[in-house]
Amino acid sequence: MEKKKIAVLGAGLVGNAIAIDLNNQYDVTAVDINQEALDKLSEEHNIKTVNRDLHTGDSIKAAVEGFDLVIGAVPGFMGFNTVKHVIQAGKNMVDISFFPQDPFILDEAARENNVTVVVDCGIAPGMGNIILGYHNHTMDVDRYECLVGGLPFEREWPFEYKAVFSPIDVIEEYIRPARYIENGGLIVKQALSDPELVYFEKIGTLEAWNSDGLRSLLRTMNIPNMIEKTLRYPGCIEYLRVLRESGFFSYEEIDVGGKKIRPIELTSRLLFPKWKLKPGEEDFTVMRVIITGSGKEITYELFDRFDQKTNTISMARTTGYTCTGVANLMLEGSFERKGICPPEYVGESEENFRFMLTYLKERNVDYRMKESKL
């Protein structure tokens, strides 16, 4: 039987992990403009590659022709355009670009083209949504709280942080207003607001602050209290606020020596080498999801670390394997809902929810659940 064909658009750290995982079962082709990243996949994992600039609609449509499923793993600023043109090409898709635009703008086009597009399919948003989607169908949820972060084990001054994604995508977390639901009403605050210290058994105390991670849940869930917070090492919030308030994260052009530049692009260029994980440098991912309602509290805890055997960083594993799990469900016909589908739609099926937990656990991404009565 001929293997189904998958195009993975983007061969960065997460796209790399996705391509490797899917290549064990499917016929995978990685597409990127970075030849060095493609060569690594080709030489070390015998994965087919195509060098292509994915900035134009025609290029995107040409890249996905002949494939059964498309994975979107491009930077966030390219994500919306990529998804739009994949839909126009009539291809099913799983996307992890976390683009800032409202994905439901593309829902009508996806339905007209009879395609399924699962967006925001990483860890959070992503697996957190899948967990909530399941429990929202089995109980009356009063509150959903998600705390999540990916960090290096080595706390190196001054940032004590390393980025897996594009630096501009990370900076978006620090400037995009944070939305959450409290007592049934929408609350909007600055990112980095309401910091609190939270203890995690395997790593110690981290700092949590408001970020705009609920995204589609604000539209799809009728739950009176929902919030997501990002986790970093204590103290980092102060320098981020200084950089933000000083204008280093601004998109507005300024004149420097007669040249127009956007400060965020300069900041991103300067931070990229500082935030880049060094070869062999280990990271970890920590997540806590708390769901309350129907007289009980359910908690999911994840602590995942760099995989020394496969040399795969944790954030690529936890993000990428959620994506590949959903890709499997789609390719095997277990999730076929048409249109724009945030991950909570995947979690509505208990069979699919259990599959995802098992799929991730088989890759040592283990969400441990405990339940207590209130």
Cα 209 → chain centroid: 18
Model pLDDT, residue 323: 98
Model pLDDT, residue 90: 98
Q: Radius of gyration over alpha carbons of the chain, in Å?
A: 20
Structure confidence by residue, pLDDT tens digits, 53-65: 999 999 999 999 9
Contact 314, 306 (CB under 8 A): yes
Tokens of 163: 């980025």
Cα 13 → chain centroid: 12
Q: In whole angstroms, give the CA distance from residue 165 to residue 122.
A: 12
Q: Which residues contact 210 (CB under 8 A, 6 or more apart)?
A: 178, 180, 189, 190, 191, 192, 193, 194, 227, 229
Q: Which of 193, 134, 150 is nearest to 351 (CA)?
A: 134
Q: What is the pTM of this model?
A: 0.95
Sign (positive or negative) of CA dihedral 162, 194, 190, 211: positive
Residue 351 burial (CB count, 10 A) = 10
Tell me which residue has tokens 């060094």: 278
Tell me which residue has tokens 């277990």: 334
Cα 200 → chain centroid: 22
Fold assignment, 127-305? Dihydrodipicolinate Reductase; domain 2 (3.30.360)
Extents of the domains making up the chain = 5-123+314-367, 127-305
Q: In whole angstroms, give the CA distance from residue 231 to residue 229.
A: 7
- Any idea what DSSP says for residue 275? H
Architecture of domain 5-123+314-367: 3-Layer(aba) Sandwich (3.40)
Q: Which residues contact 150 (CB under 8 A, 6 or more apart)?
A: 164, 283, 284, 285, 286, 314, 315, 318
Structure confidence by residue, pLDDT tens digits, 180-231: 999 999 999 999 999 999 999 989 999 999 999 999 999 999 999 999 999 9
Mean pLDDT by runs of 10 across the 374 residues of the chain is 94 96 97 96 97 96 97 96 98 96 98 98 97 97 98 91 83 94 98 97 95 97 98 93 96 94 93 86 96 97 94 95 98 98 98 98 97 95
Q: Which residues contact 326 (CB under 8 A, 6 or more apart)?
A: 94, 118, 121, 335, 343, 346, 356
Q: Give the DSSP letter string of 82-105.
A: HHHHHHHTT--EEE----SS-GGG
State yes or no: cis peptide before 158, omega within 30 of 0: yes
